Structure 1
Amino acid sequence: MKYKILLAEDEPFLGKVIKESLEKNGYEVLLASNGKEAWGLFNEQEFSICILDVMMPYKDGFTLAAQIREFSKNIPLMFLTAKSDIKDVAQGYASGGNDYLRKPFSLEELFLRVAELLKRSKEEKSSTDELRIGEYVFYPKRQELIGGRAQIVKLSYKESRLLELLLQNKNQVLERKLALMRLWGDDNFFNTRNMDVYITKLRKKLQEDTSVEIVNVRGFGYKLIC
């Protein structure tokens, strides 16, 4: 398995060095030069770990981490920063970070920290990767649903993330704007219609179990009943 890393670093030279060094160690790395770009990449692809610089334009690392943590409770988050004040460290952990590496740092230490976070994450996922939705078993990482007759239903990346978000708010209203901002980064008309299409696709893929329903709560959003 090749781990995919989201690296957000606004210093071009440092970002390039870290990216190339991690790639030489067998990782796939996507580099973002600011927090806004990193948030866009996070919403488009699935990552094994996020390495975030704290001081970035458009969106700082702490704000970005808090947004990521709202959607994913388990993905490892590591901060890179020149800040050393204990208050900054505390803020990093409060925003959902798992580790905090102060600049300047050695690449060897970075590799060790990344490997340890991924190992810990893998151990935690082994007991939480399987989710129940009525008669279905949902595997978010594999983007699969397995129905009562053991048939495998493949999901697209966006379908999987939307279903996971609905499940996190099971039997409660998932606000339309919240879902749009988390999954598309914008609540414009085009994205709203796009999300409606994905909801329709999910309904069809869950239709075998009549106890499972995605209800349209007019003017508010959607509710997954199961």
Structure 2
Amino acid sequence: MEKNASLLLVEDDQALGYLLKEYLGMKGFEVTWEKNGKDALEILKHEQFDLAILDVMMPEMDGFTLAGKMVEEYPGLPFMFLTARSLKIDVLKGFSLGAVDYLKKPVDEEELVVRINNLLRLVKNTRKKVETAGPSVISLGKYSYDPGNLLLTCNGEEIRLTGRENELLQYLAERKNKVCRHRDILVTIWGKNDYFNRKSLNVFITRLRKYLEKDDNVKLENVHNEGFVLRVME
């Protein structure tokens, strides 16, 4: 029997936190509820989760800061934001940090469950794809790319990728020298082709370009109005 998905809920509002913990528990999730970012980081040292749900405005450590630390220390843990911060700049910041979704309060509990299940399904499919591919390392010019361990290496220097960076680079690397259309990337990795996800995709493309700038024979090129191509000149 497959175990229930384990969620880390980080929410300082007592009433909402209690409501979400109980409701998600009724829907079959195992929910651990923490009231601030510092406590969340502490429990991550001892427990593993399938998905983290983060508020932004919290005492001691806000959700954006918490997300940044999680990306550094637990790059394989997907996270989403659930917050009253609804300005465009906040949404873009959330996605640029690597969030797999950004929901605005007040939240519809049924919609939240649907989104969580969709995100978990996407993550599971991605991990299964990596496991099926095995421990093989992909050669990209001077770079050695190990998607199974989220590792990009060049001249002995290692770059540890976040989960979303790894998903995107693997998608492009498996299709190197071929045009990867915006829509196909977004639907496959983000699960949806919309404005905010397109902005998030551009942020991650910029990051990958920076990682790959040590070899002039490896270029992540923009194809106008079409998508991107990872050009590797052998």
Pairwise CA distance, 1:71: 3.4
TM-score scaled by structure 2? 0.56
In structure 2, what is the equivalent of residue 62 of structure 1? 64
In structure 1, what is the equivalent of residue 172 of structure 2? none
Say which of 21, 42, 47 aligns to 2:23: 21
TM-score scaled by structure 1? 0.58
Superposition RMSD in Å: 2.5
Letter in 2 for 1:123: N
Counterpart secondary structure, 2:103: strand
Structure 1 distance, partners of 2:40, 2:74, is 15
Pairwise CA distance, 1:59: 1.2
In structure 1, what is the equivalent of residue 206 of structure 2? none
Structure 2 distance, partners of 1:66, 1:114, is 21
Counterpart secondary structure, 1:10: coil
| Cα deviations by residue, 1:21-69 (Å, 9 ceiling, x for unpaired) | 0010111000000000011112211100000001111111111112112
Counterpart secondary structure, 1:37: helix
In structure 2, what is the equivalent of residue 115 of structure 1? 117
In structure 1, what is the equivalent of residue 209 of structure 2? none
Pairwise CA distance, 1:9: 0.2
Letter in 2 for 1:69: V
Equivalent pair of 1:54/1:62 in contact (CA under 8 Å) = yes
Structure 2 distance, partners of 1:95, 1:85, is 16
In structure 1, what is the equivalent of residue 78 of structure 2? 76
* 1:92-107 superposed matches below 5 A: 92-107=94-109
Gaps of 5+ in 2: 137-147, 160-234
Equivalent pair of 2:151/2:158 in contact (CA under 8 Å) = no
Counterpart secondary structure, 2:89: helix
Structure 1 distance, partners of 2:48, 2:57, is 24
Letter in 1 for 2:100: N
- Amino-acid identity (%): 38
| Cα deviations by residue, 1:1-23 (Å, 9 ceiling, x for unpaired) | 21100000000110010001001
Gaps of 5+ in 1: 134-139, 141-163, 175-226
Q: How many residues align?
A: 144
Change (3 A) 1:111 1:173: closer
Equivalent pair of 2:80/2:100 in contact (CA under 8 Å) = yes
Equivalent pair of 1:63/1:95 in contact (CA under 8 Å) = no
* 1:1-226 superposed matches below 5 A: 1=2, 2-129=4-131, 132=135, 168=151
Counterpart secondary structure, 2:57: coil
Pairwise CA distance, 1:74: 3.9
Counterpart secondary structure, 1:29: strand
Structure 1 distance, partners of 2:55, 2:92, is 15
Pairwise CA distance, 1:128: 2.2
Structure 2 distance, partners of 1:40, 1:172, is 30
